[in-house]
Amino acid sequence: MATAEQKIHVTEFTNEPFIDFSKPENRKAMEAALKKVASEFGKEYPIWLNGQKVTTTEKRMSTNPSRPMEIIGIFQHASADMAKQAVEAASKYFDTWKKVPAQERAKYIFSAAHIIRERKFELAALVCYEVGKTWPEADADIAETIDFLEFYGREMLRLAEPQKLTPQRGERNYLVYIPLGVGVIIPPWNFPCAIMAGLVAASLVTGNTVVLKPASDSPTIAAKFVDILFEAGIPKEALNFITGPGGAVGDALVTHPKTRYIGFTGSKEVGLRISELAGKAMPGQIWIKRTVLEMGGKDGIVVDEEADIDSAVEGTVQAAFGYQGQKCSACSRVIVSEKIYDTFVQKLVDRTKKISVGPSDDPNNYMGPVVSASAMKTILDYIEIGKKEGKLLTGGKRAAGDGYFVEPTIIADVDPHARLAQEEVFGPVLAVIKAKNYDHALEIANNTEFGLTGAVYSRNPEKIRKAEESFYVGNLYLNRKCTGAMVGAHPFGGFNMSGTDSKAGGKDYLLLFLQGKSVAEKVSN
């Protein structure tokens, strides 16, 4: 019998290369893409419900955080009843979609990856406008989207084959993986294409049907991705697209008895609520709902006295202020040995003062805006708390411009148990903590309720090995920044209140969307 790999000839997975914007032709292509996307501002996008376009009287707007008066897209305001209809429709179509061969489902996902690769500049420009990502950050988002599609397509081909078991005399025995049912996907705004696409692609390629509710701050890129999937051949009935208020619509999706699992990335508070709601069986529900939850972080970089200080400074700045600190993997605490503390802090401040802040479509800016007015208020409130808990060294206020711009902010001499050292800020605010020695630094690094990413800078191999053993995070980085996980190379997900350690982009990820069925048949000798 031909294997799945023989039916679809795929090369070994490799990560999508990033765009080199130093090349004039790439800069021109990005500038042209930004103009094209801007010409479509104000376009209205429908809900997709049971394969049909639906509009509502009440509308919702997606705006540009660099220029909040600019409307990126106009969206529908779905009701809880529409959310229930979406789950019902997805449940009905599941019986059809689950029978589509895995090879065919994978072909659709590979086709979508090809379309995205062809439209890479345009999609990056949209991400740049809608959530304030700079050119390199937006490009990385789209590259990761392609990676997820290519990786999960290949993984499904591997898992589609009957899995070998320990042979039993007189039996034909094997194990197959089958899909779960209706998946509700609730992605975040900070990786508006990659995380959203990864959750949706993993669900569809494994044979599940999907109800996608994008983040309120980033529905346009999600709408574009849905259109691309339809263009690639995914049946419209397999993917329902619902925009609306998180409370009413989200709760209706999570609690519906025909919802089989929820894939969520976002805050700890919302993740815990989803876990609680999903854990309660509703009338007519015949399964325990699965939850795939990736939540917050309070990620720390440890800088040992034996570290390369300049390298540690650069890695800390990139991890703390890349995409305005709005990554769950971002460095929000740097824990520094007291022997090099003053030197490191001075170099850190000097480097941070060189960061330019402004509209994200301008390639001269390293930092763009934070995503919304409410996010800006929360960040500025935390800065005020930080000023009381430590010493403000640079930044500390709103930056110039009409957008939601916040200065890169460093607050030193923060106590390890202070609020700024324990609570997720999700903005360009870095707490600097002094450690007595390396062991003390690791102790501080492990002292939060989170456990997502962490990094250690040290040239001492024994200390590196100790971090490998005792730094309690899902993604540990050694002598490099704690952001920038690559699909396939750095399976991503964390411990404790950082989520269910789902390991997106890893070999075991698709198993979260599948269930095993063991088959044993008695055969004659």
Rounded to whole angstroms, how far apart are CA atoms 264 and 199?
Answer: 8
138 is written with which tokens? 């937006």
DSSP 242: -
Q: How many CB atoms lie within 10 A of CB 282?
A: 13
Residue type, 83: A
CB 174 within 8 A of CB 513: no
Decide: 444 and 431 in contact? Cβ < 8 Å.
Answer: no
Q: Which of helix, strand or coil describes residue 453? A: strand
Nearest to 140 by CA among 371, 323, 328, 263: 323
| DSSP run (H or E) holding 477 | strand 475-478
User: Beta 209-212 vs 239-241: how paired, if at all?
Assistant: parallel
Q: Name the helix (H) or strand (E) containing 47.
A: strand 47-49
Maximum distance among all Cα pairs of the chain, rounded to whole angstroms: 82
Contact 398, 378 (CB under 8 A): no
CA distances in angstroms from 448 to 153, 295, 333, 337, 421, listed in the order given: 36, 14, 11, 19, 8
In angstroms, rounded to a whole number, what is the distance separating the alpha carbons of residues 505 and 146? 11
Return the active site residues. Answer: 294, 328
For 236, the 3-state DSSP assignment is helix
Region of 356 (left: φ > 0; alpha: ψ -120 to 50; beta: rest) is: beta
Residue 140, φ and ψ in degrees, nearest 5? -65, -35
How far apart are the C-alpha atoms of 87 and 90, rounded to whole Å? 5
% helix, strand, coil for the chain, step of 5? 40, 20, 35
DSSP annotation string for 142-196: HHHHHHHHHHHHHHHHHHHSPBP----TTEEEEEEEEE-SEEEEE--SSSTTHHH
* Residues 317 and 348: beta-carbon distance below 8 Å: yes
Q: How far apart are CA 182 and CA 253, in angstroms?
A: 10
How many H-runs (helices) and E-runs (strands) does the chain carry? 16, 21
Q: What DSSP string runs through 276-311?
A: HHHTSPPTT--SPPEEEEE----EEEEE-TTS-HHH
> Is the Cβ–Cβ distance between 137 and 250 less than 8 Å?
no
